[in-house]
């Protein structure tokens, strides 16, 4: 059965997932019509591949005359805007990070012929509202990420990495402030923060960074700017020894997942989508301690028709204890051998096959 795609092909996380799915289809020589959300194709973050780039252009150029509304159409998007479709057979693949679907979100979910989530936790949240869904775990992006095995520092330091655009949901400020209480200005340990939020201004980002360290200078805490390509981002991920994944709600956790899969040690919160791929063998696990409201007045506003609810919280002492345990693992072996196994456990072929099966049923 023929099917079509409606994807954001851009530089943010949804765009990365779109590109990965497209690469999987390209390898399989499957050629669905492609309608891009926003009307643009931005593959500037991707590892250059002329054949793949030209193929994507062919899909978009031919979409308007090859597509039929009778074709199932897979859309990757938020619930907000998720009801808009090119097809009478609407398939929505979406991320959801919270725990209290609104009436609007439930109605969008019910309007889909098929609904796809990336993790079991979200599936269960919606199942409690009698919404059935398909599960498609995300995959390791072998096209853009790999272990480089090069030396970045010659002083034996152990480097922690913190990723994702700065948000309350991801607990960035809490993580940084807990870390500096224990490790601040200790030359044995460094914290690299790739938390630049491109939805905020340069001045807003600088202000957030300063507030996160209480307007105090710590020589071993570094804030980085936006990484415009995956090649640069891969280099950044490789420069660390330990990835911190303590977000209170995630659809998958792409930077953390790719870090562990290239052999980095990890301190991970045992909650939301993280539970689908972390283990005691590949991560030092922190158990959550209750929940808190997600509302931050910027990206999550109480009373909105979308994105309402709570996120998982954690105890700072538990987090620091996990950091100390992870340091021991690094001192024993800089490579997280169990983490490397994620590349084989979550291959692109598996994700692609799952999408094809859902679209062609």
Is residue 56 predicted with pLDDT exceeding 70? yes
Average pLDDT of the segment spanning 129-144? 98
Task: Summarize pLDDT for 208-236 with one digit per residue, the tens.
Answer: 999 999 999 999 999 999 899 999 999 99
User: Is it true that 4-139+346-360 and 158-345 share their CATH fold?
Assistant: yes
- Please tell me the CATH superfamily of domain 158-345, with its number: Glycogen Phosphorylase B; (3.40.50.2000)
Q: State the average pLDDT for the chain.
A: 96
Task: Summarize pLDDT for 298-309 with one digit per residue, the tens.
Answer: 889 999 999 999
Task: Summarize pLDDT for 319-347 with one digit per residue, the tens.
Answer: 999 999 999 999 999 999 999 999 999 99
CATH 3.40.50 fits 4-139+346-360, yes or no: yes
Do the strands 310-312 and 291-293 form a parallel or antiparallel pair, or are they unpaired?
A: antiparallel
Q: What is the dihedral of CA 22, 26, 27, 32, to 10 degrees?
A: 90
Residue in this structure with the two tokens 């949804």, named with its chain if needed: 14
Give the domain ranges of the chain: 4-139+346-360, 158-345
Is residue 85 predicted with pLDDT exceeding 90? yes
Is residue 271 predicted with pLDDT exceeding 90? yes
- From start to end of the chain, where are the E strands? 4-9, 34-41, 73-76, 90-93, 114-117, 134-135, 158-163, 189-194, 221-223, 242-245, 265-269, 284-286, 291-293, 310-312
Is residue 1 predicted with pLDDT exceeding 80? no
The percent of residues in the chain predicted with pLDDT above 90, rounded, is 95
Select from 326, 325, 250, 319 the least CA-distant residue to 289. 319
- pLDDT at residue number 47: 93
Select from 151, 214, 166, 162 the least CA-distant residue to 193. 162
Using DSSP's 3-state secondary structure scheme, residue 146 falls into coil
User: Count of CB atoms within 10 A of residue 65's CB?
Assistant: 7
The percent of residues in the chain predicted with pLDDT above 70, rounded, is 100
80: pLDDT confidence band, cut at 50, 70 and 90? very high
Using DSSP's 3-state secondary structure scheme, residue 235 falls into helix
Select from 45, 259, 57 the least CA-distant residue to 163. 259
- pLDDT at residue number 297: 87
- pLDDT at residue number 311: 98
Q: What is the dihedral of CA 220, 225, 228, 230, to 10 degrees?
A: 30
Residue 219: C-alpha distances to residues 110, 143, 216, 253, 313 (Å): 52, 35, 10, 28, 28
Average pLDDT of the segment spanning 46-62? 96
Residue 276: C-alpha distances to residues 57, 226, 271, 338, 345 (Å): 34, 28, 9, 15, 11
């Amino acid at each position: 059965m023929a099917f079509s795609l409606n994807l954001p092909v851009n530089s943010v996380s949804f765009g990365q997932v779109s590109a990965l799915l497209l690469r999987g289809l390209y390898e399989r020589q499957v050629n669905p019509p492609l309608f891009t959300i926003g009307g643009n194709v931005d593959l500037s973050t991707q590892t250059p591949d002329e054949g793949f780039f030209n193929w994507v252009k062919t899909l978009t150029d031919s979409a308007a005359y090859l597509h039929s509304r009778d074709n199932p159409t897979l859309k990757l998007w938020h619930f907000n805007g998720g009801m808009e479709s090119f097809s009478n057979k609407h398939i929505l693949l979406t991320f959801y990070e919270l725990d209290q679907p609104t009436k609007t979100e439930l109605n969008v979910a019910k309007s889909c012929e098929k609904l796809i989530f990336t993790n079991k936790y979200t599936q269960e949240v919606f199942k409690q509202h009698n919404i059935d869904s398909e599960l498609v775990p995300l995959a390791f992006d072998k096209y853009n990420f790999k272990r480089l095995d090069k030396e970045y520092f010659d002083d034996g330091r152990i480097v922690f990495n913190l990723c994702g655009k700065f948000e309350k949901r991801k607990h960035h400020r809490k993580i940084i402030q807990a870390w500096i209480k224990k490790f601040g200005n200790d030359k044995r340990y460094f914290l690299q923060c790739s938390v630049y939020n491109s939805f905020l201004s340069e001045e807003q980002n600088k202000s957030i960074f300063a507030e996160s360290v209480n307007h105090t200078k710590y020589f071993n805490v570094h804030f980085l700017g936006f990484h415009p390509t995956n090649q640069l981002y891969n280099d950044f991920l490789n420069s660390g020894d330990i990835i911190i994944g303590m977000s209170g709600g995630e659809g998958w956790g792409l930077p953390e997942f790719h870090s562990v899969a290239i052999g980095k040690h990890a301190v991970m919160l045992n909650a939301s989508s993280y539970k689908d791929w972390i283990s005691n063998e590949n991560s030092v696990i922190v158990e959550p301690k209750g929940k808190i409201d997600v509302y931050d007045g910027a990206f999550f506003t109480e009373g909105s028709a979308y994105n309402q609810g709570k996120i998982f919280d954690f105890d700072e002492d538990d987090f620091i204890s996990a950091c100390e345990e992870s340091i021991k693992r690094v001192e024993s072996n800089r490579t997280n051998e169990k983490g490397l196994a994620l590349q084989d456990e979550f291959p692109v072929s598996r994700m692609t096959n799952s999408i094809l099966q859902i679209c062609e049923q």
